[in-house]
Every structure is written in C-alpha cells, then in structure tokens.
Amino acid sequence: MKSPSTNMNSEKSVNVEDHDAVLSSAKMHLQILLAQLGYLKATDTAINDPELQRLLPLLSENSSKNVPQGQSVQAPKKSNTPKIEVLHTPQTFIANREYVGKNHDFLLAEPGDRVVVHAWVDGKDAVGFNERNFSAGRISSNFLGDKVPNSKDKFESFIADEPNCPIRWSGGRLDIKSGDRIRICMWNSKKNGVGVNLATGKIGDFTLV
C-alpha cells in the first residue's frame, strides 16, 4: 500500500502532465481556428452567418478578460541606462577618419590618430584617449579602424583615498568616490592629469589637492 505522500506526489505529477497536454492542444486548436476564420472572412461567410457573429465576440472577450477595460497591454520599457564594459587591458585602435564629438564628453580625432580604448558603452561607443592631441571621451566605434599594440605594457592606477595613494582628487570632469580605482592615461603636470574611473567607465581630467 502506498503512503499518502506518495499518492499526493503522483496526483501532482498527473496534474502537471494534464496541464501541459491541455496547453499544447489549445495552441494547436487556436492556430487551426485562426486559419479557418481567415478563410471564412475571405469568403464573406463570417459576415452572413448569424451564429458565427454571436460566437466571435465571446472569443474576443475571453482573450482580453484579464486586461482592464480601456487599457492596452504594453511591452516593458527598455532601460535608458547605458551598459558600460570596462576593459581589464586597454586596446589601441587607429582612427580611420576625422571625428568631432557633440561636446566636451567626446574626444577629437583625425585619420591615423592612436586612440586607447578603456571601455565600451552599449557595444557601440568607445571611451578612449587620443595619444596625439590628449583629448579624452567617447568616440563611435565606426570611426575606429585597425587594432594595434598598446604603446606601453603597463598602465599606472591607484585606488582613491587609500593611505598609499598619492592622489587626492579635486575638481576636473572625473567624478570620483572613495574606493574607486583610477587608471592614469597621462599626467599633464605634477597636479593635473587625465584618468579613467574603472568603477564607472568614465574618463576625464582631474586636479590634485
């Protein structure tokens, strides 16, 4: 004799199988029904048959009974937050044509310039640094051509506000919080430079305190 728990598990299994069978059958019959209705509409039978006219509203009512009256089902909105992929090792590309960005958040480039890419935004825009004119910011991937070796093997980096960090940030376009790792693109002087915030993927200039 089977225990009660065994019987309950068996009943649950049967119910799941029945549900799947009903669902599969419903999908098949709906496809057949839609094809048949299409044929009837094409031959004007759907207009002339009173019984069919009575049943069609019921089908429409059942298909939309879970939707509040006066409302439509809308697809979920896509997030406007850009997806930023920070590169563990920067990559250098050669600009294939002139690029002038919309504002100071974009770098400037001419054909042949070496652009060091530190991050990608939505897989389309690069966050980079132009080694020739020292401009930093975003650039469309369409303006980047061949990939070439980096001009240096190692990039200097620091974690903001660590005791051994020689940098105390003040001013500039690079938004930095305590604990962020900053990769240095270049030093303009002993107190000014350009860096990439590896926590946010943003690039910009900074001024030391």
Q: Which comes out higher in pLDDT, residue 164 or 11?
A: 164
| Per-residue confidence (pLDDT) for residue 121, from 0 to 100 | 92
In which element (H, E) is residue 127 found?
Answer: strand 125-130
Enumerate the domain spans of the chain: 22-50, 84-208
Mean pLDDT of 75-79: 60
Per-residue model confidence as pLDDT tens digits over 117-150: 999 999 889 999 999 999 999 999 999 999 999 9
Edge-to-edge strand order for the sheet containing 136-140? 136-140, 125-130, 114-121, 84-95, 144-148
Q: Between 40 and 133, name the one with better pLDDT.
A: 133
**Residue whose pair of structure tokens reads 């019987």 in the numeric block:** 7
Round the average pLDDT of the chain to a whole number and report it: 77
Query: 84-208 adopts what CATH topology?
Result: SH3 type barrels. (2.30.30)
Contact 128, 203 (CB under 8 A): yes
Is residue 76 scored above 80 in pLDDT? no
Summarize the confidence of residues 166-183 as an average pLDDT: 70
pLDDT band at 207 (very low <50, low <70, confident <90, very high): confident
Would you give the DSSP letter of residue 143? Answer: G
| pLDDT greater at residue 74 or residue 202 | 202
**Strand, coil or helix: what is 175?**
coil
Question: Per mean pLDDT, which range of 1-5, 16-20, 72-76 is the poorest?
Answer: 1-5
Q: pLDDT digits over 6-34, tens only?
A: 444 444 444 656 777 777 777 777 777 77
| Cα–Cα nearest to 83, from 35, 134, 125, 141 | 125
The DSSP H or E segment spanning 20 is: helix 4-42
Which segment, 50-54, 76-80, 116-120, is predicted with the most confidence on average?
A: 116-120
Residue carrying structure tokens 């990608």 = 120
pLDDT confidence of residue 33: 73
pLDDT number for residue 40: 67
Please tell me what DSSP assigns to residue 156: -
Q: Is pLDDT at 166 greater than 90 in this prediction?
A: no
pTM higher than 0.75: no
